[in-house]
Copies of this chain bind each other. A is one copy, B any other.
Amino acid sequence: MTDILRVAVIGAGRMGVDHIQRIHARIQGAEVAAVVDVDLARAQAAIEGIPGAVALADAEEALNNGDVNAVLIATPGFLHEEILLKALAKDLPILCEKPLTPDAASAWKIVEAEKELGHQRIQVGFMRRFDAEYAALGAMIRSNELGELLMLHHQHRNPTTPPGFTNEMLINDSVVHEFDAVRFFTGEEITSVQVRLGKATRNAPAGQHDPQHVLIETESGVLADVEIYVNARFGYEVATQASFEDGIVNIGADHGPYTRANGRWGGTVTPGFEERFAAAYDVEIQAWVNAALRNGIGGPSAWDGYATAACCEAGVEAQKNGQKVPVKLNPKPAIYN
């Protein structure tokens, strides 16, 4: 294959622009070849200062551009399926922002298409796996140095939600990260999801029930839970406490300069996920580029995208009925082993 990835970035919104700048300024072995957005002006703005990149309004045109040999999909989730299938048809390396697709049925179509292709081409953008602390905790779990992992407690807090954010999106867009994290940490599939709705904050827009408490179980019985609070005001926080047989491990603690002033000790809370996971995004994209240059993937697969989509479906159902809802998965195709 080539020695440089010429990437078409599909979608020039917040995440797309972030990735464009990343690839342009910090990633080795890749260049931005094309930026696609239905709003062409947005695509044009995004390529400013990037020599050799073209702005397009149509994704298909980008895929047919001879200068493009890889695709990064950063459009809203409901648009992923069509582009994924087209890019797979061309056997291009794909980095697809999460979610793979918005539901398990469509995600399964992607898995089947990739299975037919006979090898993995799709990496899904669960960037937390590339965070240094996530990686360290994963390594500690696999090492068994503190015995078996028994419980996982997750805190996930966002300062605010964008207009139109719904209860379903709280599961599909936010808790989906913890579904992936639980699968990543345990190396197991999730078997059930339950959701507790209690006292709600006055900070949430009408229609949202916030916070929520999500209870998760895995194949071996690891009890995980997530305190998800998406209108927490004070800043962004993602933290995990893992309880082992012989000890506990916390990741996601606050850091940065430690100040004593005005009668307070402490520091500044990270304002959002971009700041919290800036380094993780860099590592993620570099891992994808390195792997794609060797015809592989360097992170979560389409199977991971499908399995988390199934968890999300169970989570949304559990939100509504208050019960423990089982997660049902099709058998895993061999290319994902």
Contacts and interface: CB of A to CB of B under 8 A. Distances in A.
A234 B261 contact: yes
What does DSSP make chain A's interface, helix, strand, loop or mixed?
Answer: mixed
Contact of A202 (B51, B245, B251, B254): B245
Contacts of A3: 51
B215 A196 contact: yes
Interface stretch (A34-42, A65-73, A98-106, A216-224): A216-224
Given A151-B227, A251-B257, A217 B198 contact: yes
Contacts of A221: 198-200
Contact of A150 (B211, B225, B247): B211
Interface in A255-314: 255-269, 271, 279, 286
A256 B136 contact: yes
A81 interface: no
A211 to B, nearest CB: 6
Given A202-B245, A215-B196, A222-B198, A235 B260 contact: yes
Given A259-B247, A264-B266, A268-B264, A198 B211 contact: no
A267 to B, nearest CB: 6
Contact of A147 (B202, B223, B253): B202
B213 A223 contact: yes
A223 B235 contact: no
A158 interface: no
Interface in A46-60: 51
Contacts of A229: 150, 243
Interface in A124-183: 132-133, 136-137, 140, 146-151, 153, 155, 157
Given A258-B253, A260-B235, A246 B147 contact: no
A233 interface: yes
Give me the 8 closest cross-chain CB pairs, A-B, nearest first.
A266-B266, A247-B261, A198-B223, A199-B221, A254-B265, A198-B221, A250-B258, A201-B245
7 contacts: A25-B28, A150-B198, A196-B215, A199-B220, A199-B222, A263-B271, A264-B266
